[in-house]
């Protein structure tokens, strides 16, 4: 395997701040040489004699002075994360020690790594494909068990394998079409028409189901956004707290208690659900409160589901929104709250509300909160379909690349019915191979790759 980089990089792989252990990672041709400047193993003459992928106990020496007692591992190319020579040093946590060791590596000749540069090297050195590189970052941010399992499947290369299989099918079709170009008198393409057509239909079906899987894959990665809205004092913050089972949002009997949006995650059947509490919507001359209400409007525009909370004691069925079409464009669940105060109810809900699904609860005594979770989940599964840990597309980039491949396959499907001109089919097939390659990063342009890796942490 030919490696692509001639410089050696260093980065802190662990989070900053005081902690038990920090890890400094050095990767590149000179990794061992640079680490040899400041790491002295206790049971070996030097770092070059250390066994591959074994932890070695030793000392960090700065200008003849011992500054830390550490464990170091040497991972020689190509059997390391980046496929380059790697040294990882586990030192005592804390920013001073970690920063000092980082500076020792830089003084020895290493360059400070950019965000995601270790993973970028693993990708460019051919150890992983782009979907696996993306999975390494997603794994860190996984918010639920289902999300984790989907991402681990991707990290193991399941999506990569699926795309390779589809590419092989397309290569098989290409070989028949190219044979038709080479031996025009044989009519190879025409005699294999049914087989070619079946293969194209198969690739099309597989791509369609991958694209369908993106609804679930993207949702488990990014979460489902539920926004609580309503007039002041209807119990929005109380409902947020009841769903979270923690007193996260301040609740008082004073209308206008919540001034800013508050976002927290909860887990509903494996889906990370982001719950946003908002300021009560009404007309006000208070500039601060108005700013909070503007943020409520903004939160509504980003919602996957709006929980419109109505106080059953004092029901109001009008929300003072700047644009009422919002409630037509998004799924809305009307939550009648304070059912525990039934004896004080003044009037029944109007007849025109039933176009929205409704639920009646009490945030105070938590009755029907489980039912509320279940109803939220019904909205989610309406969007994601079946919850499964099978191979899924987990981000928008992969989805767009798969959609472009599907478009091209559909075009091919049509054109093969109309014409069997081998040259034209061969051009379409080459384009499909390139588009499939884009899903796994084979043909992704450099600026797009840079954008992807910029979102990673430093040291990853």
Ligand X SMILES: Nc1nc2c(ncn2[C@@H]2O[C@H](COP(=O)(O)OP(=O)(O)OP(=O)(O)O)[C@@H](O)[C@H]2O)c(=O)[nH]1
Closer of 344 and 451 to ligand X (Cβ): 344
Least distance in Å: CB of 258 to Mg ion? 3
Nearest approach in angstroms of CB 280 to Mg ion is 7
Report if residue 237 touches Mg ion, rule: CB under 5 A. Answer: yes
Measured CA to CA, the distance from residue 167 to residue 393 in angstroms comes to 17
What letter does residue 271 receive in the DSSP assignment? E
Options 80, 119, 258, 391; binder of ligand X; rule CB under 6 A: 258
Edge to edge, what strands does the sheet with 111-112 contain? 39-41, 55-62, 65-75, 86-92, 21-27, 9-12, 111-112
Residue 167 binding ligand X, by CB under 6 A: no
From candidates 321, 341, 449, 457, binder to ligand X by CB under 6 A: 341
Show the binding pattern over residues 322-341: x = contacts Mg ion (CB under 5 A), - = does not. --------------------
3-state class of 46 per DSSP? Answer: coil
Nearer to ligand X, 26 or 242 (CB): 242
Cβ–Cβ < 8 Å for 72, 35: yes
Count, residues near ligand X per rule CB under 6 A: 24
Write down the least CB distance from residue 236 to Mg ion, Å: 5
Among 233, 368, 391, 398, binds ligand X (CB under 6 A): 233
- Radius of gyration of the chain measured on its C-alpha atoms: 29
Give the rounded distance of the alpha carbon of 376 from its chain centre.
Answer: 22
Q: Choose the one of Mg ion, ligand X, none that binds residue 234, judging by a C-beta under 5 to 8 angstroms depending on kind.
A: ligand X
Query: Is 322 an interacting residue with respect to ligand X (CB under 6 A)?
Result: no
Q: Is 363 in the site for ligand X (CB under 6 A)?
A: yes
Indicate whether 364 belongs to the interface with ligand X (CB under 6 A). Answer: yes
CA distances from 412 to 193, 208, 300, 340, 432 (A): 13, 15, 42, 62, 9
Contact range with Mg ion by CB under 5 A, out of 164-172, 257-265, 410-418, 429-437: 257-265
- Cβ atoms of residues 119 and 129 within 8 Å: no
Closest to ligand X by CB, 136 or 237: 237
Q: How far is the CB of 158 from ligand X (least distance, A)?
A: 44
Residue 403 engages ligand X in binding (rule: CB under 6 A): no
Residues from 272 through 291 that contact ligand X (CB under 6 A)? 279-280
Nearest 5 degrees, angle CA 252-CA 254-CA 255?
A: 115
Residue 178 interacting entry, from ligand X, Mg ion, none, C-beta within 5 to 8 Å by type: none
From 63-71, 235-243, 373-381, 392-400, give the range in contact with ligand X by CB under 6 A: 235-243
- Binding flag, residue 236, ligand X (CB under 6 A): yes
User: What is the C-alpha to C-alpha distance for residues 418 and 440, in angstroms, rounded to an integer?
Assistant: 31
- The end-to-end CA distance of the chain, in Å, is 22
Whether the CB-CB separation of 159 and 209 falls below 8 Å is answered with: no
Long-range contact set of residues 368-372: C-beta below 8 Å, sequence gap at least 24:
368/339, 369/242, 369/243, 372/239, 372/243, 372/335
Q: Is there a cis peptide before residue 327, judged by omega within 30 degrees of 0?
A: no
394 binds, options Mg ion, ligand X, none, Cβ within 5 to 8 A by partner type: none
Count CB-CB contacts under 10 A for residue 388: 13
Residues 452, 27: Cα–Cα separation, whole Å: 20
Stretch of 79-87, 143-151, 252-260, 433-441 contacting ligand X, by CB under 6 A: 252-260
Please choose which of ligand X, Mg ion, none residue 381 contacts, taking the beta carbon within 5 to 8 angstroms, the exact cut-off set by kind.
Answer: none
| 237 binds ligand X per the rule CB under 6 A | yes
Q: Among 250-258, 302-310, 332-340, 390-398, which window interacts with Mg ion (CB under 5 A)?
A: 250-258
The answer to whether 258 contacts Mg ion (rule: CB under 5 A) is: yes
Structure tokens at 78: 């190509």
Q: What does the binding site for ligand X look like in residue numbers (CB under 6 A)?
A: 230, 232-238, 251-253, 255-258, 279-280, 337-338, 340-341, 362-364
Q: What does the binding site for Mg ion look like in residue numbers (CB under 5 A)?
A: 237, 257-258
């Amino acid at each position: 395997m030919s490696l692509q980089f001639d410089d050696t990089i260093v980065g802190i792989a662990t989070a900053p701040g005081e902690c038990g252990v920090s890890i400094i990672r050095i990767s590149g041709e000179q990794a061992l040489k640079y680490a040899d400047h400041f790491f002295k193993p206790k049971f070996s003459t030097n770092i070059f004699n250390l066994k591959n992928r074994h932890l070695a106990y030793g000392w960090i020496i700065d200008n003849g002075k011992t500054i830390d007692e550490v464990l170091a591992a040497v991972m020689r190319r190509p059997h390391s994360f980046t496929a380059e020579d790697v040294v990882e040093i586990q030192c005592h946590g804390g920013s001073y020690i970690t920063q000092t060791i980082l500076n020792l590596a830089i003084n020895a000749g290493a360059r400070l790594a950019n965000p995601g540069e270790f993973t970028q090297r693993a990708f460019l050195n051919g150890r992983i494909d782009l979907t696996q590189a993306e999975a390494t970052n997603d794994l860190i941010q996984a918010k639920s068990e289902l999300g984790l399992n989907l991402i681990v499947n991707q990290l193991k290369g399941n999506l990569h394998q699926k795309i390779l299989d589809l590419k092989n099918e397309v290569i098989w079709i290409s070989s028949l079409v190219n044979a038709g170009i080479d031996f025009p008198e044989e009519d190879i393409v025409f005699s294999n028409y049914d087989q070619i057509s079946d293969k194209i239909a198969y690739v099309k079906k597989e791509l369609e189901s991958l694209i369908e899987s993106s609804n679930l894959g993207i949702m488990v990665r990014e979460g489902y956004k539920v926004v609580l809205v309503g007039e002041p004092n209807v119990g929005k913050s109380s409902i947020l707290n009841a769903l979270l089972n923690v007193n996260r949002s301040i609740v008082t009997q004073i209308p206008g208690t919540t001034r800013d949006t508050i976002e927290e995650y909860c887990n509903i059947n494996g889906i990370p659900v982001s719950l946003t509490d908002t300021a009560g919507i009404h007309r006000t001359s208070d500039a601060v409160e108005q700013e909070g209400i503007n943020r409520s409007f903004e939160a509504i525009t980003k919602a996957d589901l709006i929980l419109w909370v109505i106080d059953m004691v004092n029901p109001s069925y009008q929300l003072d929104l700047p644009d009422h079409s919002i409630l037509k464009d998004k799924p809305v669940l009307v939550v009648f709250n304070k059912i525990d105060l039934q004896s004080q109810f003044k009037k029944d809900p109007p007849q025109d509300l039933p176009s929205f699904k409704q639920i009646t609860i009490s945030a105070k005594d938590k009755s029907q909160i489980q039912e509320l979770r279940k109803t939220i989940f019904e909205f989610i599964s309406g969007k994601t379909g079946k919850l499964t840990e099978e191979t899924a597309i987990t981000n928008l980039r992969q989805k767009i690349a798969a959609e472009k491949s599907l478009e091209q396959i559909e075009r091919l499907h049509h054109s093969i019915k109309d014409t069997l001109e081998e040259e034209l089919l061969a051009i379409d097939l080459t384009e499909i191979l390139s588009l499939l390659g884009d899903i796994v990063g084979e043909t992704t342009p450099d600026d797009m790759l840079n954008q992807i890796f910029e979102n990673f942490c430093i040291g990853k």
